[in-house]
């Protein structure tokens, strides 16, 4: 009996000692795993790569690449316009914040409505999106989320507003992303695919359905990447700082997403990398000037509250012809922008590739021919290969045929 008690006591002590050691080991193992999921490191992750500075000190750039028709607005004129607009905004603010909150579980604060109204209204005006009424829904929900439910309806959770409350640039990227979904017709595209998926699920095996669902999920992820990029362009036109706006994706990155091929959203770290890669080809200063012009030549968009108590409607402006409103960049414009920015980044082979594609889409744009000549000239200087000099001359003379009196074309031909 004594022997049994002694053995039991020894086992008890050994067990407790082992448990103590196991807890410590468990903590070490868990902390090792947590290195990957650290909210701090994920929040500050920035995948913007530094480009090699291979371009010469004085790069030929007559600033001929301009996207969109606009005139530069002087600071004094713009300041006067904003002062006039601010008087109208005060009226809107008073209107939105005056309503009594009779149900805190349903209705968001008027201040929240006004904050997202100001950001959305600025994006809408800067991008000439005021051809329809826009509905903004504030959902009282602690999760970080926003979504597009209809073509003109943007819903934002109070959790997202609270998280980004002191960063309007980040909220602008979030709102711009959802507006981009609307403008790019993503809801209609997804609906078409889902109708086909529903039919496949009813008449085909589960294996066939899953194959097609994975294709849908992959397509959806591509739409998200595109909405991130186009949404950033919308925000940039409205004058928002995209460096500050990255907080939106930085926060999403802390939430994580183990993409197994079934998720309709990309991994957050891939979204960060995607935006960084696309920003290499942005014309942020150019777009900001275009946005200022659009705001200067438009009036403050008024709004009205909805009977649902959780949304408001930004009313459209005075309608005119379709050419007066937002439109997607044409393929030749996109290729020209990519080619131009590749050229400025010293990536001359990429510049030639994109500029050639721009010319294939629109052979009549002398600017693409001229910059293709510049890029080939610098490739010749880098490599000494005669084929690049020959191409530089060919593109220069093509530009001359299209714009014989242009001074920069004449200078390039003389230089070669």
Q: Looking up tokens 């084929």, which residue turns up? A: 387
Share of the chain above pLDDT 70, in %: 87
Residues of the domain holding 314: 75-324
Domain boundary, last residue among 324, 351, 371: 324
List the one residue out of 216, 219, 248, 218 whose CA is nearest residue 231.
248
Beta strand pairing call for 146-150 and 153-157: antiparallel
Inter-residue contact 373 to 392 (CB < 8 Å): yes
Instruction: Quickly state the pLDDT bin for 31 (edges 50, 70, 90).
Output: confident
Is 408 domain-assigned? Answer: yes
User: What are the helix (H) ranges across 39-184?
Assistant: 39-43, 75-97, 110-126, 158-163, 168-183
Q: Following DSSP, what letter does each residue of 340-352 receive, concatenated?
A: HHHHHTT-HHHHH
Enclosing H/E stretch for 244: helix 242-245
Count up the domains in the chain and report the number: 2
Q: Please, which residues bridge with residue 305 across strands?
A: 312
CB-based burial, 256-268: b 16+ in 10 Å, e otherwise: eeeeeeeeebbbb
Is 155 domain-assigned? Answer: yes
Residues 142 and 282 reside in one and the same domain: yes
Domain boundary, last residue among 302, 324, 346: 324
What is the per-residue pLDDT across 188-247, written as a single tens digit (0 to 9) for each?
A: 999 999 999 999 999 999 999 999 999 999 999 999 999 999 999 999 999 999 999 999
Is 387 domain-assigned? Answer: yes
Residues 309 and 338 reside in one and the same domain: no
Is 23 domain-assigned? Answer: no
* Cα–Cα distance, 155 to 175 (Å, whole number): 9
Residues 102 and 169 reside in one and the same domain: yes
Is 261 domain-assigned? Answer: yes
Residue 364's φ and ψ, nearest 5 degrees, are -90, 0
Residues 234 and 338 reside in one and the same domain: no
Q: Which of 29-43, 113-127, 253-267 is most confident?
A: 113-127
- The CATH number given to whatever domain includes residue 373 is 1.25.40.10
For residue 310, the tally of other CB atoms under 10 A from its CB is 17
* Average pLDDT of the chain to the nearest whole number: 87
Is 18 domain-assigned? Answer: no
Question: The pTM is what?
Answer: 0.86
Instruction: Quickly state the pLDDT bin for 70 (edges 50, 70, 90).
Output: confident
Is 1 domain-assigned? Answer: no
What is the per-residue pLDDT across 324-346, written as a single tens digit (0 to 9) for each?
A: 888 888 999 999 999 999 999 99
Per-residue pLDDT at 149: 83
Is 15 domain-assigned? Answer: no
Per-residue pLDDT at 27: 73
Q: Is the dihedral of CA 15, 20, 26, 28 positive or negative?
A: negative
Residues 209 and 316 reside in one and the same domain: yes
Residues 126 and 159 reside in one and the same domain: yes
Instruction: Quickly state the pLDDT bin for 43 (edges 50, 70, 90).
Output: confident
Domain boundary, last residue among 324, 346, 368: 324
Per-residue pLDDT at 14: 46
Per-residue pLDDT at 68: 72
């Amino acid at each position: 009996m004594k022997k049994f008690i002694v053995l039991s006591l020894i086992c008890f002590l050994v067990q407790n000692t082992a448990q103590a050691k196991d807890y410590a080991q468990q903590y070490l193992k868990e902390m090792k795993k947590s290195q990957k999921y650290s909210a701090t490191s994920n929040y500050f992750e920035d995948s913007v790569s530094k480009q090699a500075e291979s371009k010469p000190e004085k790069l030929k750039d007559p600033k001929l690449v301009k996207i969109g028709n606009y005139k530069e607005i002087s600071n004094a004129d713009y300041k006067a316009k904003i002062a006039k607009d601010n008087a109208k905004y005060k009226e809107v603010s008073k209107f939105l914040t005056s309503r009594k909150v009779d149900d805190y579980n349903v209705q968001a604060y008027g201040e929240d409505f006004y904050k997202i109204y100001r950001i959305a209204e600025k994006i809408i005006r800067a991008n000439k999106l005021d051809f329809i009424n826009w509905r903004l829904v504030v959902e009282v929900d602690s999760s970080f989320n926003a979504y597009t439910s209809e073509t003109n309806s943007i819903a934002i959770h109070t959790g997202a507003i609270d998280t980004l409350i002191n960063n309007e640039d980040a909220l602008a990227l979030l709102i711009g992303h959802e507006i981009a979904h609307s403008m790019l017709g993503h809801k209609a595209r997804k609906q078409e695919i889902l109708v086909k998926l529903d039919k496949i699920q009813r008449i085909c095996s589960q294996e066939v359905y899953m194959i097609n669902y994975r294709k849908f999920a992959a397509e959806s992820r591509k739409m998200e990447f595109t909405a991130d990029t186009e949404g950033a362009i919308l925000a940039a036109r409205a004058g928002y700082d995209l460096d500050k706006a990255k907080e939106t994706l930085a926060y999403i990155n802390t939430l994580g997403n183990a993409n197994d091929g079934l998720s309709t959203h990309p991994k957050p770290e891939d979204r960060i990398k995607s935006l960084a890669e696309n920003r290499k080809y942005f014309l942020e200063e150019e777009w900001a000037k275009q946005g200022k012009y659009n705001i200067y030549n438009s009036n403050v968009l008024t709004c009205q509250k909805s009977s649902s108590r959780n949304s408001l409607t930004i009313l459209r402006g005075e309608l005119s012809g379709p050419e007066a409103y937002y439109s997607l960049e044409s393929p030749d414009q996109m290729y020209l922008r990519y080619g131009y920015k590749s050229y400025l980044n010293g990536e001359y082979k990429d510049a030639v590739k994109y500029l050639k594609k721009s010319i294939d889409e629109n052979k009549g744009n002398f600017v693409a021919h001229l910059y293709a000549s510049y890029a080939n000239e610098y490739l010749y200087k880098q490599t000494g290969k005669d084929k690049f000099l020959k191409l530089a001359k060919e593109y220069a003379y093509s530009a001359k045929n299209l714009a014989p009196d242009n001074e920069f074309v004449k200078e390039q031909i003389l230089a070669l």
